[in-house]
Amino acid sequence: MDSKEKYSIRRNTEIRYMWHRILIGAKNISHSKVLLLLLGVTFSIAVGIYNHFRNLLQEFGELIPVFNAFLTFNFAFVTIVFLLVFCLLYGTPLCANRVKESLLKAGITNYAGEAPVLISKRQDKKFPGITIWEFAPCGIPMKVWEDKKEYIEAAMNVLIADMQWSKDGKYFYLYTAPTQTAFPEKIEWTQEYLSNESFVIILGKSLLGMAMVDLTKIPHILIGGSTGSGKSVLLRLILMQAVEKGAIVHIADFKGGVDFSHVWHEKCDMCFDLEKLSNMLRTLLEVLQERKYLFAKLGCPNLDEYNRLTGEQLARHIVACDEVAEFLDKTGLTKEDKAAIDSIVSQLSTIARLGRAFGIHLILATQRPDANLIPGQIRNNLDGRICGRADNVLSQIILDSTAAADQIPKDSRGRFLTYDGTLFQAFWFEEKNWH
């Protein structure tokens, strides 16, 4: 494609969206009583001026028909042009050209050199501090927007809270906040934040409200973060809510439980060695098989539906570990211990594949940037990915991208990025206040 063809494509796009904006402007005007009244008054004045000039033409005798036709044609022409320009101006966001220049600077263009066209800009009704930018993407895919996120933020002087396609796939939405919008360094947890929904776990606050994860939809979670990132506090926050919601929580801690205060020992099932962990997982697999039989007998697809139909309250089970290297790392182990770990990996893999429907979940955390630490058969089923402050390697392991390393400040604590790109500040949970 040569430069002439690219220019032709850009020109056609500009003309197409000029008419699109005229239609938007006309639609918006039709819904505004003030503007309709203004147009009515303006048209009445114009008609008055037109009639005045028609009366003046009476002095021209035989030339009256010629001048009358000329006057009528020009009046109609000027009226149509005025209406088109008025609709175009009202249908074009004031910052359209500035935003276009910003996107060009950020490198958001297609092969023909076209930047996305801003269709509208409005405040989010649900989140007043958020601005919604609606774009015609001009064939630019989501990945380009995601890869260039930091450049877009710098060029437009905003913080991007979310990116979405419209339902019909024709338009692209940016949800942004002002750059001065800062995450608080610490948000204290209170029980008022506990969700009433079945198994929705509250994580923290994002620019778009509460950050949360629904374990009925995202059954397993992998949390990553370097030392001091707040990973352990987030894990405890999740497990505390699970206990409050009636789940049976099993915690693997090969340090003898010293990292967990007495309240966890009272409320949870603690595993301190490979043998007990293996026995616990074997018991959970028996629970899984039993529930598989019960659910199939009644034709129930999941735990919530079974409990609803039978009136029973079968509890969810959650297997958690603050550092998976404690029981998955085979370095320096005996042959027998390696075989025991292989057995545990097999058990965890089964839970990761089948646990969702039967209410058995995995929540694993790590700070080690080792791609081989968590076997693929487990890792591939951990759909809920959350990463705190991390280097490129750990971010890549957790999120399959360097997004956490790029977007989370190196001195932050409690700041996390989820699998769907949501940046949030996790709640600070003080277990001493939990009884």
Confidence of residue 316 (pLDDT cuts 50, 70, 90): very high
Q: How far is CA 384 from CA 83, 202, 417, in A?
A: 53, 13, 11
* 3-class secondary-structure state, position 425: strand
Q: Taking residues 226-251, what's their average pLDDT? A: 94
* 3-class secondary-structure state, position 396: helix
Q: Taking residues 182-199, what's their average pLDDT? A: 89
| Domain boundaries, given as residue ranges, for the chain | 3-91, 95-178, 191-433
Q: 51-65, 194-208, 317-331, 406-420: which range is least confident on average?
A: 51-65
Residue predicted with more confidence, 265 or 66? 265
DSSP state of 403: H
The CA distance from 193 to 204, in Å, is: 9
Most confident of 64-73, 151-160, 212-221: 212-221
Given a cut of 90, is residue 284 above it in pLDDT?
yes
Residue predicted with more confidence, 247 or 37? 247
**Closest by alpha carbon to 113, among 92, 140, 135, 133?**
140
What token pair was written down for 419?
């699998």
- The pTM assigned to this predicted structure is 0.76
Compute the half-sphere exposure of residue 333: CA atoms within 13 Å on the CB side of its CA.
16
What CATH architecture does domain 95-178 belong to?
Answer: 2-Layer Sandwich (3.30)
Q: Taking residues 359-380, what's their average pLDDT? A: 86
Confidence of residue 311 (pLDDT cuts 50, 70, 90): very high
Confidence of residue 61 (pLDDT cuts 50, 70, 90): low
Given a cut of 80, is residue 22 above it in pLDDT?
yes
Sign of CA dihedral 379, 382, 383, 386: negative
Distance between first and last Cα of the chain: 69
Confidence of residue 58 (pLDDT cuts 50, 70, 90): low
pLDDT at 59: 66
pLDDT at 374: 84
* 3-class secondary-structure state, position 204: strand
Q: Average pLDDT, whole number, for the chain?
A: 88
What token pair was written down for 287?
């629970």
| Structural contact between residues 318 and 250, judged by C-beta atoms closer than 8 angstroms | yes
pLDDT at 1: 65
The CA distance from 277 to 364, in Å, is: 14
Instruction: Give the tens place of pLDDT for each residue, 207-232.
Output: 888 999 999 999 999 999 998 899 99
Q: Taking residues 299-318, what's their average pLDDT? A: 94
| Structural contact between residues 404 and 388, judged by C-beta atoms closer than 8 angstroms | yes
Cβ-based neighbour number of residue 216 at 10 Å: 17
Cβ-based neighbour number of residue 125 at 10 Å: 8
Q: 9-18, 293-302, 346-355: which range is least confident on average?
A: 9-18
Q: What is the DSSP string of 334-391?
A: -HHHHHHHHHHHHHHHHHHHHHHHHTEEEEEEE----TTSS-HHHHTT--EEEE-S--
Given a cut of 80, is residue 257 above it in pLDDT?
no
Strand-pair partners of 117: 136
- Side by side, the strands of the sheet bearing 131-136 are 117-123, 131-136, 172-178, 158-165
Confidence of residue 33 (pLDDT cuts 50, 70, 90): confident
The CA distance from 325 to 347, in Å, is: 16
The CA distance from 117 to 146, in Å, is: 17
Confidence of residue 62 (pLDDT cuts 50, 70, 90): low
The CA distance from 248 to 110, in Å, is: 52
CATH superfamily of 191-433: P-loop containing nucleotide triphosphate hydrolases (3.40.50.300)
Given a cut of 90, is residue 63 above it in pLDDT?
no
